Amino acid sequence: MSAPTPEQPTQTYEQAREELAEVVRRLEAGGLTLEESLALWERGEELARLCQHWLDRARERLAAATPGDQPD
């Protein structure tokens, strides 16, 4: 079974953002091994991409729902 892609997210934006904040907190706290730090950094990058995907989709939906500039 392959990993979920941004096209098929398994987390909501809020869930991904919350997990990303926790990853950052743990990295900033220190005390991790190099391997643990790298694994967290990789997870953080994945979560950041997922959050960006959600934001991009939200912008697209807003643009589609908002009428363009129309003359008065």
The pLDDT confidence band at residue 67, using thresholds 50, 70 and 90, is: confident
Choose among 58, 61, 47: nearest CA to 10.
47
Question: Cα separation of 61 and 31, whole Å?
Answer: 42
Q: Give the model's pLDDT for residue 10.
A: 86
Q: How confident is the model at residue 1 (pLDDT cuts 50, 70, 90)?
A: very low
pLDDT band for position 70 (50/70/90)? low
pTM: 0.76
Residue pLDDT, tens place only, 3-44: 555 556 789 999 999 999 999 999 999 999 999 999 999 999
Tokens standing for residue 35: 């391997």
